Chains A and B, each alone.
Chain A
Amino acid sequence: MAEHSTAVPAASLQIRVNGAQLSLHLDPRTTLLDALREHLGLYGTKKGCDQGQCGACTVHVNGRRILSCLSLAVAHQHDEITTIEGLPHNGALHPMQQAFLEFDGFQCGYCTPGQIMSAVALLTEAAGQPLSPAEIRENMSGNICRCGAYPNIVEAIQHVQEHS
Chain B
Amino acid sequence: MHPFSFIPAATSEAAIQAVATNTQASFFAGGTTLIDLMKLDVLAPTHLVDINRLPLSEITASSDKITVGANVRNSDLAHHPAIHRHFPVLSEALLAGASAQLRNMATTAGNLLQRTRCSYFRDPVSRCNKRDPASGCDAISGVNRSHAVLGASEHCISTHPSDMCVALVMLDATIQTLLPNGQSRTLPIAGFHLLPGTTPHLETILQHGELITHIHLPITGVTANSHYLKVRDRASYEFALASAAVALSIVDGTISEARVALGGIATRPWRSPEAEAALVNQPASRSTFLAAANAALAAAQPQRHNAFKIDLARRTLVHALEQLTKGGN
Checking A8, A64, A122 against B5 with a beta-carbon cut-off of 8 angstroms, the contacting residue is A8
With the chains together, A24 CA to B101 CA distance in Å? Answer: 25
Partner pick for B104 among A4, A66, A137, A141, CB 8 A cutoff: A66
| Given known A31-B35, A75-B31, contact A55–B3 (CB-CB < 8 A) | no
Measured between C-beta atoms, what is the minimum distance from B234 to chain A in Å?
9
Partner of A72, one of B6, B75, B100: B6
Question: By CB atoms of chain B within 10 A, which of A27, A28, A74, A75 has the most?
Answer: A75
Interfacial chain B residues near A142, Cβ < 8 Å: 98-102, 237
Q: A29-B1, A138-B236, A141-B237 are in contact. Are A55 and B39 (CB under 8 A)?
A: no
Verify if B273 is at the interface (C-beta below 8 Å from A).
Answer: no
Q: Are A72 and B236 in contact (CB under 8 A)?
A: no
Q: For B237, give the chain A residue with the smallest CB separation.
A: A141
A window 26-63: CB within 8 A of B: 27-29, 31, 50-52, 55, 58
Total residues of chain A contacting the partner, CB 8 A:
38
A51 touches B39 (CB 8 A): yes
Contacting residues, chain A, for B256 (C-beta < 8 A):
none
Q: Is the CB of A3 within 8 A of B1?
A: yes
Give CA–CA (A146, B75) in the complex, Å: 26
Tally B residues with Cβ within 8 Å of A. Answer: 28
Q: Which of A11, A51, A70, A122 is the one whose CB lies under 8 Å from B100?
A: A122
Given the interface pairs A142-B98, A142-B102, the reply to whether A7 lies near B3 with Cβ below 8 Å is: yes
Name the interface residues of B13-35: CB closer than 8 Å to any CB of A: 28, 31-32, 35
Verify B1–A70 contact, CB threshold 8 A. no
Flag whether A1 is at the interface (Cβ < 8 A): yes
Q: Are B100 and A50 in contact (CB under 8 A)?
A: no
The residues of B that contact A107 with a CB separation of less than 8 Å are none
Instruction: Output the nearest chain B residue to A62 by Cβ-Cβ distance.
Output: B104
Pairwise interchain contact B104-A65, C-beta atoms closer than 8 A: yes
CB of B8 within 8 A of CB of A64, answer: no
* Interface positions of A from 56 to 99, Cβ below 8 Å from B: 58, 64-67, 70-72, 74-75, 77
Q: Is the CB of B100 within 8 A of A71?
A: no
Q: Smallest CB–CB gap between B105 and chain A, Å?
A: 5
CB distance from A57 to the nearest CB of B (A): 9
A164 interfacial contact with B, CB 8 Å: no
Determine whether B288 belongs to the interface, using a CB cutoff of 8 Å to chain A: no
The closest CB in chain B to the CB of A58 belongs to: B101
> Do B31 and A65 have beta carbons less than 8 Å apart?
no
Asked whether B123 is an interface residue with its Cβ less than 8 Å from the other chain, the reply is no
Confirm or deny: A112 has a beta carbon within 8 angstroms of a beta carbon on chain B: no
Contact status of A141 and B39, CB under 8 A, knowing A5-B3, A29-B4, A72-B6: no
Determine the distance from Cα of A141 to Cα of B234 in the docked complex, in whole angstroms.
Answer: 10
Q: How far is the CB of B151 from chain A (nearest CB, A)?
A: 27
Nearest CB of A to B87, in Å: 21
Q: Please name the residue on chain A nearest to B39 by beta carbon.
A: A51
In the assembly, what is the distance between CA of A130 and CA of B30, in Å? Answer: 30
Shortest B307–chain A CB gap in Å is 28
Q: Which residue of A lies closest to B1 (CB)?
A: A29
Q: Say whether B52 faces chain A, with CB atoms less than 8 Å apart.
A: yes
Q: How far is the CB of B51 from chain A (nearest CB, A)?
A: 10
Bound together, the chains give a CA A161 to CA B104 distance in angstroms of 22
**Contact in complex: A141, B105 (CB < 8 Å):** no
- Write the A108-126 contact mask toward B (1 if CB under 8 angstroms, else 0): 0000000000100110010
Residues of A within 8 A of B105 (CB): 66-67, 70-71
- What is the minimal beta-carbon distance from A90 to any residue of chain B, in angstroms? 28
B48 and A28 within 8 A (CB): yes
| Among B40, B52, B100, B105, residue most surrounded by chain A Cβ atoms (within 10 Å) | B100
- By a CB distance below 8 angstroms, the chain A residues around B3 are 4-8, 27-29
Decide yes or no whether B326 CB sits under 8 A from chain A.
no
CB distance from A44 to the nearest CB of B (A): 17
Taking the closest CB of chain B, its distance from the CB of A61, in whole angstroms, is: 8
Q: Which residues of B contact A23 (CB under 8 A)?
A: none
Q: Are B6 and A52 in contact (CB under 8 A)?
A: no
* Contact call B1/A8, Cβ cutoff below 8 A: no
Q: Is the CB of A71 within 8 A of B4?
A: no
B125 at the interface (CB under 8 A from A): no
4 smallest CB-CB distances across A and B, nearest first, come from A142-B99, A141-B236, A28-B6, A141-B237
Interface residues of A (CB under 8 A from B): 1, 3-8, 11, 27-29, 31, 50-52, 55, 58, 64-67, 70-72, 74-75, 77, 118, 121-122, 125, 137-143
What are 14 residue pairs bridging A and B, where the CB atoms are less than 8 Å apart in the complex? A1-B39, A6-B3, A27-B3, A52-B36, A65-B104, A66-B104, A66-B105, A71-B31, A72-B28, A72-B35, A75-B31, A141-B99, A141-B100, A142-B100
